Amino acid sequence: MSEHGGFREVADRVYVLRYPVLDVNVTLVTAPGAALVVDTLSTAAQAGELAEAIRRITRDPLIVVNTHHHFDHCFGNATLAGPGSPVWAHEEAARELRDNFKTLQHFWYEAWLPSEPELATGLAEVTVRVPDRLVRAEATVDLAGRPVRLHHLGRGHTAGDLVVTVPDAGVVLAGDLVEEGAPPSYGKDAFPLEWPDTVAALLRLVAPDGVVMPGHGAPVDRAFVTAQHRQLAELDRLIRQGHADGAAAAEVAARSPFGAAASLGAVHRGYASLGTTIDG
């Protein structure tokens, strides 16, 4: 792997930047006369740094793709995408940003202010650029003759997760459907009982020797994703069994392969989707 101003080339003309705040990944795919960037970081300042890093590799016009609507993957859109630049996302991700941006912005500002005041201030000042190229199931972006494919394989981390593949490089960009270095993030908009099936579909896109880029953390391989899929499926099983048994959510979370703290919200979400809330 070679370094390019903060980006690391992980496959042929596929570059990844691991941004230190939240250890979030941005991926740049290039072709002669064109470039595509997947995810745009959290704030205008972060996106400005990202733009400088991209310019060290290419000055071609950018196509932007968002893997989902969470701030650390799309709040830099307005800085990265010029007036004529397309911004791709799943239709649910675009709807969240279009209809609920102010609510989301306030929620994330309040959540991060105590621990990351600089990040929180940047979030409060962002002007959102809502994606204008919408994906329902699948789309192909023609990057100067180099196809980049966008897949919605089902719900998991959010309702609008996109998986991006670069077929000629054997790279799968998983967004936050796959996490390295930390447990998967089961927020209030996650779907813990659907997530395993979505990752099973993602695995069908991964070549035996292919590279998978998680939304956060280091590049991984098929074996890593397979192992994480087993853990996702185990938590799914525990939630369904606990619900059937009337077990307290905390009791089920304590048995999760991801640990109790990372899983309690998932159990509550799973119980709610099964139609009953069980206290505890």
- Check residue 167 and report its DSSP letter: G
Q: Which residue has the tokens 């991006």?
A: 164
pLDDT tens digit string along 50-83? 999 999 999 999 999 999 999 999 999 999 998 8
pLDDT at 277: 61
Average pLDDT across the chain, whole number:
96
| Bridge pairing between strands 24-31 and 34-38 | antiparallel
- Check residue 209 and report its DSSP letter: T
List C-alpha distances in Å: 68 to 2, 134, 135, 136: 28, 12, 11, 13
pLDDT tens digit string along 171-223? 999 999 999 999 999 999 999 999 999 999 999 999 999 999 999 999 999 99
pLDDT at 3: 56
| Torsion (CA) 173, 176, 181, 183 in degrees, nearest 10 | -150
What is the rounded average pLDDT of the residues 112-119? 97
The whole-model pTM stands at 0.95
> What's the token pair of residue 163?
């998986």
> What's the token pair of residue 124?
């409060």
CA 242 centroid distance within chain: 29
Say if CB 37 and CB 47 are below 8 A apart: no
Instruction: Compute the residue count for the chain.
Output: 280
Superfamily of domain 2-221: Ribonuclease Z/Hydroxyacylglutathione hydrolase-like (3.60.15.10)
Banded pLDDT at 1 (limits 50, 70, 90): very low
> What's the token pair of residue 229?
């899929």
**Residue 268, SS3 per DSSP:** helix
pLDDT tens digit string along 266-275? 999 999 999 8
Say if CB 48 and CB 79 are below 8 A apart: yes
- Check residue 278 and report its DSSP letter: -
Given a cut of 50, whether residue 104 has pLDDT beyond it is yes
Banded pLDDT at 5 (limits 50, 70, 90): low
Break the chain into its structural domains and give their ranges: 2-221
**Residue 88, SS3 per DSSP:** strand
List C-alpha distances in Å: 49 to 10, 58, 163: 20, 14, 25
List phi, psi (to 5°) of 249.
Answer: -60, -40
Q: CA 72 to CA 215: how far, in whole Å?
A: 10
Burial 67-95 (b: 16+ CB within 10 A, else e): bbbbbbbbbbbbbbbeeeeebbbbebbbb
List C-alpha distances in Å: 202 to 106, 113, 155, 178, 193: 32, 35, 12, 10, 16
Beta bridge partners of 90: 135
Cβ burial of 47 (10 Å; 0-12, 13-18, 19+) is buried
The one-letter amino acid at 82: G
Say if CB 85 and CB 62 are below 8 A apart: yes
pLDDT tens digit string along 8-67? 999 999 999 999 999 999 999 999 999 999 999 999 999 999 999 999 999 999 999 999
Given a cut of 70, whether residue 2 has pLDDT beyond it is no
